[in-house]
A = this chain, B = another copy of it.
Amino acid sequence: MSAETRHERLYHELRNRICMLDYPPGEKLGEEALAAEFGVSRTPLRRVLGRLADEGLVEARHGVGTIVTDVDAREMGQVYALREELAQLSGTLTPAPVTSATIAEVRRFIHSCEMLAEAPDRRAFARFNMDWFAFTQGLIGNEALAEVSERLHFRTTRIWLQAIGRLDLNAEIAAFREEIRQVATALEAGDMAAVGMIRRAHVSMSYRRLSAVM
């Protein structure tokens, strides 16, 4: 396996663990321990941690450890304000073409969201959130926009899971289902601008619900 492939794999693995709160904010990630787990030496692992540090997910403190960062309210507000705009832009900035495969996929999301509603579970919700995000990324035709969206998404989704204890999980899943249904309708109409508007609306409402409990 090439070095770059392995780097990418480790990066995504650690990013997922951080964003799924397997490593909650404040957690110390020992370089040696992680290197041993993945079967590499500290050197390539530090390359991965450096990238995570550049993106603000961890913070390396000399003599102390590599700490998972927290997200403060002010930063979250700014990021969400921008994410709202970007969600809308994803519908107008050279969107990807809608195919029948896209429609089929969004239908599967409706189904699995209803499954989730029948058996609410925090971790399953987190997983679903991740999958849905990956799907929406596929709708973006502008690579620069997709890259920026991804960066901001992973910078802030943790807050969501952290706060979910204070939120009504069933209500969140219901809101999710509503978003997916609306997006499905817009996709079937082939109206990507409408998709962008819908997603913007739901980003906004999500943030409102989140702010209320923080």
Q: Which of B51, B81, B93, B144 contacts A94 (CB 8 A)?
A: B81
Query: Are A85 and B89 closer than 8 Å at their CB atoms?
Result: yes
Chain B residue nearest to A92 in the complex (CB): B85
Query: Are B93 and A142 closer than 8 Å at their CB atoms?
Result: no
Known: A50-B47, A54-B54. A78 touches B152 (CB 8 A): no
CB-CB under 8 A from A145, the residues of chain B are 78, 82
Interface residues of A in 126-172 (CB under 8 A from B): 142-145, 148, 151-152, 155
Identical chains in the assembly: 2
Chain B residue nearest to A7 in the complex (CB): B50
Determine the interface band of chain A, counting residues with CB < 8 A from chain B.
20 to 34
Chain B residue nearest to A84 in the complex (CB): B93
CB-CB under 8 A from A155, the residues of chain B are 144
CB-CB under 8 A from A79, the residues of chain B are 144
Query: Are B50 and A81 closer than 8 Å at their CB atoms?
Result: no
Distance in Å: Cβ of A90 to nearest Cβ of chain B: 11
Query: Are A142 and B82 closer than 8 Å at their CB atoms?
Result: yes
CB-CB under 8 A from A94, the residues of chain B are 78, 81
CB-CB under 8 A from A214, the residues of chain B are none
Instruction: Please report the C-alpha to C-alpha distance between residue A143 and residue B81 in the assembled complex, in whole angstroms.
Output: 11
On A, residues with C-beta under 8 Å from B are 3, 47, 50-51, 54, 62, 75, 78-79, 81-82, 85, 89, 93-94, 142-145, 148, 151-152, 155
